[in-house]
Amino acid sequence: MITQYVLFVVVLVVLAFTIDWPKIQETFFDFKATREMYPDLFTVALKNTVIYTVSAYVVGFVLGLVVALMRLSSVALYRWVALLFVEIFRGLPALLTLLIIGFGLPVALGGPVPGGTVGAVAVGLGLVAAAYMAETFRAGIQAVPRGQMEAARSLGMSYPRAMFSIVIPQGLRIIIPPLTNELVLLFKDSSLVSALGIAAAGVELTKMGSDFAINTADATPFVVAGASYLIITVPLGIVVRRLEARQAKAR
């Protein structure tokens, strides 16, 4: 125990004397030059980040549920298509999927995507999120005891009715932590949108950070953007851990 503390102090001391602190501060924490980032940082960039995240999450949630149900279908073709979907969109880099949709969809549609950048992002990142969420949904549904479906069917409910009224509500409770975690992941992945050519009104946190970094010629705008992500991701992470702890206790 003692040695671990001693080691920690030694490392701190070494760092304190070897690092050029003024230089560090000038590069990463020169907040005077970032005044111009406000209030757009929150009113535009953070807002857009949230919009991209939420719209992709909604697409991922709905599509993921559909794919999960297909994975559990008694029809082999559905199972097969769903598996293919999951493997493809989990296997591709999210950035590549986003680029394919962002650049490809307007060409394929012969015009702008409905919803503009938001529409393209919702589809592009939504497809990736759907692939991950489908597996989460499937696990949740399968964790519900078989007797629940049987009881519902024996009361005359159809398979879809029993699924949506009885099985899915119970399965969802089990998977709230991983579903919340997916929201955190998507929130961070929304930074990939900066790789699409987006109009000023559509700027999100990472794009804003890099635009300002070019102006100020230091990395402070990135730090500011990063802090803005943390405002959202850290509390969500705490929520996920609380939920997981509560479920572990309930077992």
Partner 1 sequence: MTHMVEIRDLHKSFGSLEVLKGIDFTVDRGQVICVIGPSGSGKSTLLRCVNLLETPTKGQVFVEGLELTHPDVDIDAARRRVGMVFQQFNLFPHLTVLDNITIAQRRVLKRGKAEAVRVAEENLAKVGLEGKGRSYPAQLSGGQQQRVAIARALAMDPDLMLFDEPTSALDPELVGDVLAVMRQLADEGMTMIVVTHEMAFARDVADRVVFMDGGVIVEEGSPDRVIGAPEHPRTQTFLRRVLDPTHAEPDELDTGHPHRGLTGEESPDMVKGPSRHGGEGAGAGGVGAL
Q: Which residues of the chain form contacts with partner 1 (CB under 8 A)?
A: 72-74, 141-159, 161, 163, 165-167, 169-170, 173
Q: How far is the CB of 148 from partner 1 (least distance, A)?
A: 6
Q: How far is the CB of 80 from partner 1 (least distance, A)?
A: 16
95 CB neighbour count, 10 Å cutoff: 18
Phi then psi for residue 157, to 5 deg, are: -75, 145
Q: How far is the CB of 158 from partner 1 (least distance, A)?
A: 5
The DSSP secondary structure of 133-197, one letter per residue, reads HHHHHHHHHHHS-HHHHHHHHHTT--HHHHIIIIIHHHHHHHTHHHHHHHHHHHHHHGGGGGGS-
Q: How far is the CB of 224 from partner 1 (least distance, A)?
A: 44
What the block records as the tokens of 91 is: 């296997």
Residue with tokens 């919803």: 115
Q: Which is nearer to partner 1, 111 or 147 (CB)?
A: 147
Q: Which is nearer to partner 1, 98 or 152 (CB)?
A: 152
Q: Which is nearer to partner 1, 161 or 242 (CB)?
A: 161
Q: Which is nearer to partner 1, 163 or 223 (CB)?
A: 163
Q: How far is the CB of 169 from partner 1 (least distance, A)?
A: 5
Residue with tokens 């230091």: 218
Residues in the chain: 251
Residue with tokens 């980032």: 37
Q: Which is nearer to partner 1, 81 or 149 (CB)?
A: 149
What sign does the CA torsion over 222, 224, 225, 230 have?
A: positive
Give the CB-side neighbour count of residue 141, counting CA atoms within 13 A: 23
Q: How far is the CB of 248 from partner 1 (least distance, A)?
A: 17
Q: Which is nearer to partner 1, 18 or 74 (CB)?
A: 74
